[in-house]
Amino acid sequence: MTGPGDTPDAPTPDHPLATSAPPVLHEVMFGHVHAAALRAVAVHRIADHLADGPRTPEELGGLSGTDAGALRRVLRLLAVRGLFHEDERGRFRLEPAGQPLRTDVAHSQHPGVLMITDPMMVRSAAELSGTLRGGRSSFELAYGTPFFEHLHKSPQDRGVFDAGMAAFSGPEDELVAQGYAFPEGARVVDVAGGRGGLLRAVLRRDPSLAGVLFDRPATLGAHLLDEPALAGRWRTEGGDFFEAVPPGGDFYLLKHILHDWDDEDAVRILGSVRRAAPEGARLLVVEAVLPGGGIPHPALELDIVMLMVVEGRERTAAEFEELLARSGFRLHRILPTAALPSVIEAVAV
């Protein structure tokens, strides 16, 4: 510190300014600060209050019940990331990259932001060093119970998780359905398909298709298939994919399922599908495919989330091929889509 009349010391080799971290290291080490700022504006729905144009922090504070001074500082940080913009009058506007933070837009990512920045994830992230020591999921180290067991016992956390997953999956379903041409009259079984968003998108594209939505009974109660255009072409069936899945399908879908599990459990799931699938039936695994070789990919962050939360993982094409071969499937091709996941097509042999 300097007193009256003093001048700051010039940077020296041992001065913090002279040994500051490289920009990339600085960005990574402060990543949790950016995530916390993002969560704060999502919790208070600041983006919704900017839907009609720029506002000052004082105006936003009055509308959202937040402190104007603190809000200015948070928005200033997020403006650096291109989510907001501060003009010469001190007003903030929502940038295109920040539009999905609104709750009133199609494919809002507001629930997804709240899920990824939820205390469940933050506490898990803090235990990642323990995962490196022992291999157990960070979530289990933090909470003392596996992730899905915790969700079963905590309806509030389950609601956060389900809403976040729906926000991420919703925009993908149509893009994935567009990326694969099902033959006329095919029977499609969506395994652990949740509310049926992907199966709905598939059935909407061809009135000759029929489908089965398979998941746990409690999940099926909130399905999305009950609409006039799909009448008579679908049914639901409850069960456990580790035990058995509906037999006789022409196509089996597994969207964002295998990455929740380690290799041995993934083989168990694939084995259940293979026992149900006739020879020659097609399996479509809808998941991100890591490129390997140090190439940047958005699923690399997701891979660490899997490591933290469920002991699952994202996989390369070679890793998928090995899992499929162990389970009675032959990898046929991998089709990129306009969304994060690819369609990994395999044949029952």
In the set 49, 110, 259, 332, the catalytic residue is 259
* Residue 259 bears catalytic tag: yes
How many whole angstroms separate alpha carbon 193 and alpha carbon 141?
29
Closest to 150 (Cα-Cα) out of 313, 311, 310: 310
Sign of CA dihedral 225, 227, 229, 230: positive
User: Within 13 A of 83's CA, how many CA atoms are on the CB side?
Assistant: 20
Chain center to CA of 286: 13
Q: H helices of 277-316, where?
A: 299-309
What contacts 168, CB < 8 A, 6 or more positions away? Answer: 109, 112
Residue 219 identity (one-letter amino acid): T
Please give the Cα distance from 22 to 179 (Å, whole number): 41
Q: Which residue has the tokens 């600060």?
A: 33
Residues ≥6 apart with Cβ < 8 Å to 178: 205, 337, 338
Q: What distance in Å separates the CA atoms of residue 255 and residue 214, rounded to the nearest whole number?
A: 12
User: Distance (Å, rounded) from C-alpha 250 to C-alpha 343?
Assistant: 16
Place of tokens 């509308």: 63
292-to-127, 189, 299, 300, 338 alpha-carbon distances in Å: 26, 31, 11, 10, 20
Neighbouring residues of 340: CB distance < 8 A, sequence distance ≥ 6: 172, 288, 298, 299
Q: Which active-site residues does the annotation give?
A: 259
